[in-house]
Amino acid sequence: MRPLRLDMAGFTVFREETTVDFTDADYFALVGPTGSGKSTVLDAICFALYGTVPRWGGSRGIVNALAPSATEARVRLVFESAGSRYVATRVVRRDGRGNVKTAGAGLQLMPPGFDVTRLDTGMSLEDLGDVLAGTPAEMDSAIVEAVGLPYEQFTSCVVLPQGQFADFLHAKPATRQQILVNLLGLHVYEEVQAKASTRATKAEAQLATVDQVLAGLADADDDAVEAAETRLTAMRELTQAVEQAVPQLSTVRGREAELAAARDAIAGELAALARVKMPAGSAKVAEATATARAGATEAAAGVRTAEEREEKVRGELAAAGDAGSLGLLLDRHIELERLTGQAEWFAGEVSVVEVEHKDAVAAADLARAAHNGAEQLLEQARLEYAEAQTLDRAAALRAHLTAGHDCPVCAQPVAEVPPVPEGSAVQAAERTGKAARAAADVASTAFKQRDAVARELERGLDRKRAQLEQHRTRLAEVRAALTDSPGVEALRRRLAELTTLQKKLDRAGAAVREAREAQRNAQAAVAAADEQQRTAWRSFDAIRDAVARFAPPPAERDDLAAAWSTLVDWARTSARQREQARVEAAAAVEAAHAETQQARAAVLALFTGAGVSAPSGGADADLIRSAAVAAERAGAAWQRLVDRREHARELNEQRAGLLRDGRVAKALAGHLRANNFERWLLEEALDLLVGGASRILRELTGGQYDLMHDKGEFFVVDHHDAGLRRGVRTLSGGETFQASLALALALSEQLAGMSTTAASLESIVLDEGFGTLDAATLDVVAATLENLAARGDRMVGVVTHVNALAERVPVRFEVHKDARTAHVERVGL
């Protein structure tokens, strides 16, 4: 991994946007006073890649990413790894409750030849390349795949944090062994052992399952398949034989059906001839018609006699006078007496109603005034309710106001939130409104009742007055009509005479009606007799038409009895002729049926001979279908046995594979279960590591020192002192730095080959306190770093505030901090 560009904003001390351009910086130094933010640049690189920093103490320290009082921190790192260029981005935000969370994380593969300076144009993330990860969870695996190192190995091989540079050199053997286990990923072998044990157990379980299934397939052997195939051949032969025999059976059955149809046709003719019978009473139909017509003539003469008698009495009544006029004069005398009394009564009633109407009008006026007052109070209550709604809505809005924020209604800043009043103004207004409504309803009801009473009395008064006037007018009319009247007694005598004549006329009219009723009955009897005769002829025509195809003799239409006699005699003769033909047809049908049964028995014998149950009934086509079903079932049984035999063969092959895999997994789990394998791996790794570090240390010290280990402890061999072996804790500060650096470089070189991951080690950055070194040691350290950079195989970076060391580095990033934010300025190449 080689950093190319780092962008920060709101990240710890870098409150403002800051860019660190590592282009062509093969050997650089981050310089500046203590506390200026030099190590923060390395923190930003680690955070962009892994989302955490060594000195934060784990993922819970993400709150340290935000600058004081900042709500958002952004870090973007462009880097190269194994020839590809990537950009990693992380965004941290603080919510309204003060909680700090990762708001965004992403890794993108940039297109080849992408110019990093284009980032200054404000490009969006979508323009930076293919997205490899878009969430923090996706970033964890994507970064390891791109860089080739997990977080612990990255901080041990690429970015060496401050204070941890010499930890591995001076660590105790047990601690150093655990570090190597973590760095080399040797825990993977524990996972391999666990997976091997799981796989062995799974293989045993699968083997038991396979054996159980194989036990159920024991009947699917070659003999069973051969027997099923023989059965299938027999069923196919049966189907072919049935298909050949059924057409002959159908021909015989068709002949039987034709003969049966002919027999049934003769039987139908005999049945039709048997229905030719003369209905009872056919001879009396004409006699009944003549009797009915004679009765009708006699009834018509009786009607004429009764009508003549009625006309005579009617003339006598007309000569005696008009009973209606006399009765009308008598009724007017009675009406005059009645109207005289009623006129006096109505006059008294009008006087009483006039007084009641006056009192009701006064009461209605008082109720109208009370109703108007109640309506005014109700309208005032409505206005107060509308105002109470406005007050309650304003009070409800106060709960959502915050001092210093804008009002959501008027968009003006709220200086102070008014207190929320107790109780609801709407509820108080509703109580007042209900009381006003009740009073208004009572007043309205009272007014309506009194007004209705007054109006009803007024209508009654008008009716009484109209009735009085009507009686007075009618009384005058009656008196004028009786001016020429002969008197009540004379009128009554003349009406008695007219009543006697009227009764006589009524008796004559009743006699006319009786005669006419008798005439209608006689005419109905004639119609019924005619209809009976027509019905008898229709019955005759229906019977004759039913046998018309047999050519019956013609009928005489003027004599129904003779027509019936001729037709019945002919039907009996025709029936005797057809009876012999029916006997012969029945015998032919029986012979054909016997032939059909014999043909069907031959087909059923084919089923019995093949060992299949013959169908008991059904059509001829069912015989072919039954044979086909038997062949299909035999084929299905044969195919099932073939499939089961093939399944058994596959299971036997699977069983052999499971047995082999289970033995291998069990053996591997047994080999990895012992600690010797891991101890051997660690010893080999430590030998390689010390060998590489010794080679580098000889180069850095001009051949003075070699590095070795014994029983987990590190020693140096001083070739300038006769090959004296010394513990690493006896080295001076400069010598300790050289030994630690050699070990770190060897660790970073060897880790790529020894680790279970594929790392791309293209840079190393040292964050170490060089200020504690004396001038001579500092010179040795500077020369060591220059030699390391001169090798040209990786980018080398140091973090220091020592000017003597910084001045010897070709590219310097000077870090300084003002009251608001830290700044980075590149000096040099």
Say what the pLDDT of residue 13 is. 92
Indicate whether 279 pLDDT > 70. yes
Mean pLDDT of the 740-757 span: 67
As a whole number, the mean pLDDT across the chain is 78
Q: Say how far apart CA 235 and CA 497 lie, in whole Å.
A: 119
672-683 per-position pLDDT tens digit: 765 667 677 777
* Residue 709 pLDDT > 60: yes
Q: What whole-number distance in Å separates Cα of residue 171 and Cα of residue 159?
A: 19
Selected residue with higher pLDDT from 223 and 609: 223
> How are strands ordered across the β-sheet holding 724-727?
705-710, 713-718, 724-727
Summarize pLDDT for 447-502 with one digit per residue, the tens: 778 778 777 877 877 787 777 677 777 777 777 766 767 676 776 777 777 778 77
Alpha-carbon distance values, 229 to 218, 232, 612, 651, 705 (Å): 18, 5, 16, 23, 88
- The helix or strand, by DSSP H or E, that contains position 74, with its residue range, turns out to be strand 72-81
Q: Percent of the chain beyond pLDDT 90?
A: 10
Number of H helices, E strands in the chain: 17, 15
Residue type (1 letter), 613: S
- pLDDT score at 10: 93
Amino acid (1-letter code) at residue 702: G
| pLDDT tens digits along 644-663 | 778 778 878 887 887 888 88
Please name the residues in contact with 666: beta carbons below 8 A apart, sequence gap of 6 or more: 196, 197, 200
Higher pLDDT among residues 186 and 780, named by residue = 780
With pLDDT > 70 as the criterion, what percentage of the chain qualifies?
Answer: 83
Instruction: Say if CB 806 and CB 770 are below 8 A apart.
Output: no
3-state SS string for 786-821:
HHHHHCCCCEEEEEECCHHHHCCCCEEEEEEECCCC
440 close to 448: Cβ distance less than 8 angstroms: no
- For residue 750, pLDDT over 70 is answered with no
Contact call for residues 220 and 645 (beta carbons, < 8 A):
yes
Label residue 441 by pLDDT band (50, 70, 90): confident
Question: Residue 696: which of 636, 736, 739 has the closest Cα?
Answer: 739
pLDDT of residue 160: 67
Asked if residue 749 has pLDDT above 70, the reply is no
pLDDT exceeds 60 at position 124 = no
Residue 628 phi/psi, 5-degree rounding, is -65, -40
For the segment 521-526, the average pLDDT, to the nearest whole number, is 83
Q: Which two tokens stand for residue 638?
A: 């044969």
Q: What is the pLDDT of residue 757?
A: 53
Q: What is the 3-state secondary structure (H, E, C) of 753-772?
A: HHCCCCCCCCEEEEECCHHH
Residue type, 251: T
| pLDDT at residue 320, rounded to an integer | 66
CB 476 within 8 A of CB 315: no
Highest mean pLDDT among 68-82, 163-177, 262-276, 436-450: 68-82
Distance CA(410)–CA(310), nearest Å, equals 107
pLDDT-based confidence at residue 86 (cuts at 50, 70, 90)? very high
Selected residue with higher pLDDT from 36 and 774: 36
Q: What is the pLDDT of residue 824?
A: 94
* 3-state SS track over 147-171: HCCCHHHHHHHCEECCCCCCHHHHC
pLDDT attached to residue 642: 77
Tell me the mean pLDDT in the region 365-388.
76
Q: Residue 163: is its pLDDT beyond 70? A: no
- Residue 787 confidence (pLDDT) above 60: yes
pLDDT of residue 775: 77
Among 13-22, 80-89, 203-212, 802-811, the least confident range: 203-212
- pLDDT over 90 (residue 764): no
User: Edge-to-edge strands of the sheet including 27-31?
Assistant: 159-160, 763-767, 795-800, 27-31, 811-817, 822-828
- How far, in Å, CA of 78 to CA of 125, rounded? 12
- HSE-CB at 636 with a 13 A cutoff on CA atoms is 6
Q: What is the pLDDT of residue 668?
A: 73
For residue range 103-113, what is the model confidence (pLDDT) as tens digits? 899 999 988 87
Measure the CA angle with vertex 586, ends 580 and 592; round to 5°.
140
Sheet with 100-109: strands ordered across: 18-21, 2-9, 72-81, 84-94, 100-109, 130-133
Give the model's confidence band at 126: pLDDT under 50 very low, under 70 low, under 90 confident, else very high: low
pLDDT tens column, 585-624: 788 878 877 777 776 776 667 667 666 766 666 666 667 6
Q: List, in sequence order, the alpha helices (H) in 19-77.
A: 38-50
Tens digit of pLDDT for each residue in 224-267? 777 777 777 777 776 777 777 677 767 777 777 787 887 788 77
Chain Cα centroid distance, residue 169? 65
Residue 497 CB neighbours (<10 A) = 14
Pick 672 or 311 by higher pLDDT. Answer: 311
Cα dist. 739→476, 696, 733, 786, 793 in Å? 154, 9, 10, 16, 20
Question: What does the pLDDT read at residue 30?
Answer: 92
- Reduced to 3 states, what is the DSSP secondary structure of residue 9? strand
User: CA 132 to CA 142: how far, in whole Å?
Assistant: 7
Instruction: Return the structure tokens found at 241.
Output: 């034989």
> Distance between alpha carbon 501 and the CA centroid of its chain, in Å?
97
- The pLDDT, as a whole number, for residue 18 is 93
363 burial via Cβ count (<10 Å: 0-12, 13-18, 19+): middle
* Cβ density class 721-751: b for 16+ within 10 Å, e for less: eeeeeeebeebebbbbbbbbbbbbbbbbbbb
**pTM as predicted:** 0.44
